[in-house]
Amino acid sequence: MYPLLSKESNVFIVEDLKKDIEYFINSFQHDKVFLLSDETAYELCYPKIKDAIGLSADRTVIIPSGDHNKGIESLSKVWHLLSHGGADRKSLLITLGGGMPCDLGGFAASTFKRGIQFINIPTTLLAQVDASIGGKTGINFEGFKNEVGVFNQATAVLIETSFLDTLDGENIISGFAEMLKHAFIYSADKWEQLKNYDIKNPDYKLLKELVADSIRIKDHFVQNDPLENHIRKALNFGHTFGHAFESLAMHENRPVLHGYAVAFGMICELYLSHIRLGFPMPLVMEIANHLEAIFGHFEFDKAHFEELYQLMTHDKKNESNQINFTLLESIGKIQINCQATKDEVFDALHFYTNIS
């Protein structure tokens, strides 16, 4: 195991996951170590670590897969495991799975007895480059994405890229959206590199290198602004529209993967970047067409505009009753805390509905 990032970071790329888990577990009493996973990750990924000394079926909770299960009911199950399993403030919770178990488990650990330590073992591409890193934890509440949560860094994040072999194409593509986002907010060179990578037919050896690069980019923003007061807000590019699309899809019982929603949102926010900051329209179209070719199109019409706008008003980045956007003057040149009129938001939605 070796540190992937700066010495302040808790993210590691591992070569022997079982051995490295045991290294951390050995700092705790074995009967105080607990595991949270979802059904998919438990079936496909748990076999790789099941013999690690300190893990026990009696101290494991498995929740249904899917972001719609990241709510109070699942949170209660984790708290129940910890409480009835004899957890105390010197216990450890390990999360194994995608972004949903990482968010949920981190929040459960952060709030149980006012906080216990937790380790994330992300098993999806999206979780490895985004959700497991940076200390954001939380649950969905009353139909709103990540409505309740806290900032709390994991004790460690262990990246095992061989888990990516267990993913279907849709989940690989979903994670790639966050990698593209990192490129857009960081540099044109990174965009060119990812633009030429065929994520639908992935070269896993190269993908491992791209994952490391993407984590470094995220860490750059997190280390400079851990609590998202300033520059870390750049990481929200595509998410104001994206979370609204994700919530609408949940409300209409046609859920979309998070990365897909972010990709749809980036197209809208690139259009806002054009009308607010002069981002070149030919580049907006080039990127929009590229994203459509990878992620497809999210179907909605003018009748949804008001609902989508109202969903955006619940975004956590908002201040003084204004919707806040992260926009781009150019690739790698970010403007945070940008506002747009309701008409401009509707214009961006109209643009999106007409690009395919």
Q: How many residues does the chain have?
A: 356
| 106-129 pLDDT per residue, tens | 999 999 999 999 999 999 999 999
Q: Give dist(CA 170, CA 70) in Å, integer.
A: 20
Q: Which residues pair with 327 in a beta bridge?
A: 335
The residue type at 51: D
Give the CATH number of the domain where residue 173 resides. 1.20.1090.10
Domain containing 315 equals 169-203+214-353
- CB neighbours of 7 closer than 8 A, spacing ≥ 6? none
Structure tokens at 242: 């994206």
pLDDT per residue over 148-177, tens digit each? 999 999 999 999 999 999 999 999 999 999
Cα angle: 119, vertex 147, 153; to 5 degrees: 25
Mean pLDDT of the chain: 94
pLDDT given at position 123: 97
Residue 296: phi, psi to the nearest 5?
75, -160
pLDDT digits (tens, 9 = 90+) for 215-247: 999 999 998 888 888 999 999 999 999 999 999
Tens of pLDDT along 324-356? Answer: 999 999 999 999 999 999 999 999 999 999 997
Q: Is residue 208 a part of any domain in this protein?
A: no
Together in a domain, 256 and 147:
no
Strand ranges (DSSP E) for the chain? 2-3, 11-13, 33-38, 60-63, 92-97, 117-122, 139-141, 144-148, 156-159, 325-330, 333-338
27 is a domain residue: yes
Q: Are residues 131 and 254 in the same domain?
A: no
Do 63 and 77 meet the contact criterion of CB atoms below 8 Å apart? Answer: yes
Please give the pLDDT value at position 317.
Answer: 76
pLDDT at 124 (0 to 100):
97
User: Per-residue pLDDT for 10 more than 90?
Assistant: no
pLDDT exceeding 70 applies to what percent of the chain?
Answer: 97
pLDDT of 6 over the 60 cut: no
Do 145 and 8 share a structural domain? yes
C-alpha atoms less than 13 angstroms from C-alpha of 312 in its C-beta half-sphere: 27
Q: Are residues 12 and 25 in the same domain?
A: yes
In a domain, 209, yes or no: no
| Count of domains forming the chain | 2
Residue 12, SS3 per DSSP: strand
Domain shared by 185 and 291, yes or no: yes
- Residue 195 covered by a domain: yes
